[in-house]
Structure 1
Amino acid sequence: MSLPALLQETFSPEEVQFIVENQKIKIFPRITTNKRRNLSDSNNEGNDDMSRWKMLTMDGRALETMIVMKSTEVTLWLALLLKQQSKCNIIIPEWLTVRGLELMLQYEKRNVDRFSALPWDWLVVSEILFKQAADDFNDPIHELRNRIQDLKEIRQMKVLQGLKYLNESHLQLDNLGILEINELRPFIVTVMDKLRLIHASGQPDEEESDEYGEGNADDVGMGTMLNSDTNMSSSSVPPNGTML
């Protein structure tokens, strides 16, 4: 299937979210799924407690060992699914707090040519958690959104300043997130393609000059040989230079 030109150079928002939702995040389960003995009934000593939840997934190792309010790590998409069913609380990452974002902002302001070491999926994760896990935040959402926006604007200005180092082969900007790269990629790819064309347009002239240079060298060599032949047959040439 042929894709539109835009999607050939970059990811769609849905593709970006799909990639990010496969990353791990910590949760506090509200249910217990680990196997345990029913001690209340000695006749059912070998049976599991009937209150235990059973869950089926592609990889059930984390789900089959969950204990109420004991932190465990699952993929983000699974955490969101459990959250929708009121079966867990999501543990907000340390960087996604007012204190954590303030530290990142201070670093961005102090270092005009460097980017803070935010996670590569910081913009996507923050937006997902703001929408689907707002009650798990300890800080006001509007304050977190303001700081996220400040970080985004500061980093965008640094990216624009870094474009002056762009050439036909690469552009190095460390610690950019996937969404930041995804937004820049179409423009960067177009510019680099133009730079490659400009760079390549100078190549034929150089090759042509090399060919001319090689031709001159052959002529000089041939001239030397002719002169040597003339010198070798100089006995048959009179002093006035007229051929006999």
Structure 2
Amino acid sequence: MAFPLPRGITPSEIAFLAEMETVTIVPRQRLEGLELLGGPVEPLVPPRRASLPLWLALLLKRQRRANIIPPSWLHPDPLGLILEVESQHQDYKNSFSPPPPLPALGKKPIPEHNTHQMEIDTMLHRRFYLKILQLGGDFTKETPALPFHWVEVGNMLLDAASDDLVEPDQIRRLLKDLREVRMSKMRSGVDVLDAAATGGGGVALTGVGAMELGEERGFVAGVVDNLRKIGASKEQARREQLADQRVNGEYSATQDEEEDYMEF
């Protein structure tokens, strides 16, 4: 008998998808170019930097053929600023730091939905900039932002290329603390889930990473399903009460209009 597959995507599948993220390396020896499914890889000539998929960069790192340059966000300073903003500022008590802005599409026409999303990203980054400045951050530097696969990429680089990172132990601690803070925010929004289950709104997940969504999918879906069952039982009890009032002659026309409105 086959066991049913778990709902959604599993953490191992999410980590597999994260290996297609692009990182920068410094080759330590010459290597010929490769033809990959995602596109050709240029020949590696030290000490010229190159951009490679994460899985290939990790392979070369394990073979001691290249060093990986960590992304700008994987550093104690930006991680510490993001953690401080999300854990201490009231504006981010129930929200998350904004994701990286959408990449520019050059001279090609930008789709309307992408234009709207870019405006939202700009607004979120401006608000986040103000919090960084209040904490003494440098406005001239690039805005610290966690990518969609920040959990997976951070853990992979810590496991395979910790010697290429600045203060890897502190980075590991900051990633752990940041993940706990963000997970607690997702689990504390039960009141928002109650409104979403009854059709009164949605849950804002802007800035949430892939692994965070994958791990919390079961919890959020379970809460919403249970809230819907509770709402259905309350509605059934209300209808039974109205039926009893109709039998006992206590039912008014006003209640009939209200019931028709609820059904509509």
TM-score by length of 1: 0.67
Deviation of residue 2 (structure 1)? 4.8
1:35-184 counterparts in 2 under 5 A? 53=32, 55=34, 57-59=36-38, 61-62=40-41, 64-108=42-86, 109-110=88-89, 111-117=92-98, 118-137=146-165, 139-166=166-193, 167-168=196-197, 170-184=202-216
Deviation of residue 128 (structure 1)? 0.7
* Equivalent residues of 1:162, 1:173 under 8 A apart: no
Q: Between Structure 1 and Structure 2, how many residues are aligned?
A: 188
> How far apart are the structure 1 equivalents of 2:189 and 2:176?
20
* Equivalent residues of 2:23, 2:54 under 8 A apart: yes
Which among 184, 188, 192 is matched to residue 220 of structure 2? 188
Q: Flag as ranges the 4+ runs of structure 1 deviating above 6 A.
A: none
Partner of 2:23: 25
| Cα distance change, pair 172–54 in 1 and its aligned pair in 2 (3 A) | closer
> How far apart are the structure 2 equivalents of 1:119 and 1:155?
14
CA deviation string 1:105-157 (max 9, x = no partner): 122122213212321211111111111011111x2221111111221222122
SS in 1 for 2:24: strand
**Unmatched 5+ residue regions in structure 2?**
99-145, 247-252, 254-264
* Equivalent residues of 1:29, 1:69 under 8 A apart: yes
Structure number with greater Rg is 1
* Equivalent residues of 1:27, 1:90 under 8 A apart: yes
| Cα distance change, pair 69–144 in 1 and its aligned pair in 2 (3 A) | same
Partner of 2:141: none
* Equivalent residues of 2:76, 2:171 under 8 A apart: yes
* Equivalent residues of 2:18, 2:152 under 8 A apart: yes
| Cα distance change, pair 3–178 in 1 and its aligned pair in 2 (3 A) | farther
> How far apart are the structure 1 equivalents of 2:33 and 2:203?
50
TM-score by length of 2: 0.62
Deviation of residue 87 (structure 1)? 1.8
| Cα distance change, pair 177–126 in 1 and its aligned pair in 2 (3 A) | same
Equivalent position amino acid for 1:176 in 2: V
> How far apart are the structure 2 equivalents of 1:59 and 1:185?
29
Deviation of residue 197 (structure 1)? 2.9
Give the RMSD, CA atoms, in angstroms: 2.8
Partner of 1:11: 9
* Equivalent residues of 2:34, 2:40 under 8 A apart: no
CA deviation string 1:34-57 (max 9, x = no partner): xxxxxxxxxxxxxxxxxxx46564
Equivalent position amino acid for 2:26 in 1: F
**Unmatched 5+ residue regions in structure 1?**
34-52, 218-244
